[in-house]
A and B are shown apart, each in its own frame.
Chain A
């Protein structure tokens, strides 16, 4: 047992223990799965708690503040305090709410996020559920989120949640399209829908030091960047956080929720963020593969989580920097820029796959992607970029 196997230790222990006591085979299997699932949920629930603190700290530093520093050493107990606060708050259900749907929505928002986390390969030896159709499974359970957001918005029986839900759904539907198309390119090149296999295909190094990740190919760079932007929008994070834009529509679909249900929404959102970042890492950043040769002695899951932390930090940085976009800008950006570029990555990936991944592929795919990109950028800047508004009566 090396460090590589550490995340699977609880599962092994429980299985061995049960076998020792002569438990039947099916019980050992189920208990093993339960423990494996609990490991993932535990790790990411802890990650959620930590992230809620780190996010506030990072945002504070970006604004030259200190951030939470009262609860515990450097505010380390802040998530605990928040949790206790959320748990002890009154649970208010509006009189006009649809009681059952109102209750179901926050649960149904956490479940798909947890399910999606189950198929991601965290390390060479740590794959909670090695599904053959892992990628498809990820998107299929992700589809549930939209229904639950609709349920939350509609069941609250009030205007702001409804508006927020409408915004959220239209945004998620629009951005899911380029997201999936970008992932399709990876599927095409890897020739598999299984996430562990996709990671395996990204092993090795070009020229001895450039990792053979999908990001370091012309189509992969474009698809990866598009995937990154789409995942920000899918996770409803700034600058695409219109669904819950607190200054415009209170908190979107979460307006009428309080106490623990509200906390569940947040948990679902952050778990979704972890899941989509994990998928992005798996598809484009080589999953658990080490970034440089000769680093194999480090357990692979450490690389995965290092990448995850980097990606999440970039999300925080972006949140600290950019203002929220308007809904029409958001939709126009998705349909006029993201989707055409995402569609272009498909032929580029095909050429890359069939033209031998050598110089020829570079010569063909780079112009194939670069020229439309320049054209789209020029058109967008000329015709559709936001214009300066001067107010005649507000000078």
Chain B
């Protein structure tokens, strides 16, 4: 009850503060337009933001250990988050600066107008690509290598049950978590990338074919896609994975391959829709009519006239599709029906390491391992989304 009362008091204070803020602003600046035309809601927003900022600074400087000697893990996590955010921002800034002076004239120009989020996104994607490609060289141990000690705590502090040899500790059966995280980049990202390419190949070519030829082929494909899209994709994937798991045993083919095919087919329906829509928009253009009336063949129309104009939206869609596929695979693996052991994979790791979270109050570092695996997934999708967001914004801005 008292917490409710505190909240009510804080709210009232902010509400009052907003009024005072606007009134004082009007008096001090002699009715400058900014304060004169300020709505009460806007004033409230300013004061609320200020209050949040003050609270965040206050919380950041709370002691790490309480008077009773208990660890104040919440503060620790908050500090980590803030520090991570600042480091990311600085890295993104430096990377953008770097890009403004290195590279071709075109890329330099691109970097100059780039928001920080996009440069952060590109930086992260590059890092992931490097880690994924050179995983074997970077990782200290093998992905399936079972080492001496199981359940070593992360952080490398022997007092808390850690071991400097395994900076992020080991899992329940004694595999090095850091190595598995690094290999996870190769497996999870690599498989998602292959799946997305496959989905684009299937959906893209069928979509453009439907847009160019139209008629019964378009009808047939579009209606089939309608039906497939009427089943939620994760549900459909789970259903097909059930069946595939029986087939995998029967045929002796790894289940992972079935998963790639299944997700590629399910996702190609979305690609098909987009490719067809983009294609249809281009097909009605006068320059296509001019090419048709010139007597050009189908190949020239599709590859020389339509495709070059469809690249920009398709590239953006590739980013979004990749995120979607990546998250679907992670979800399947998390549910235990995706990428199969012994391949290291982030979704599976989250599920396996999840119980560590309950130790957070005693050893903040212990709780970090499952979140690291989940965070690795989130970070890449955030990065891709930042880049796509910027690309879409740029292409829509050019039209104005």
A and B: real partners?
Answer: no
Binding site for B on A (CB under 8 A): none
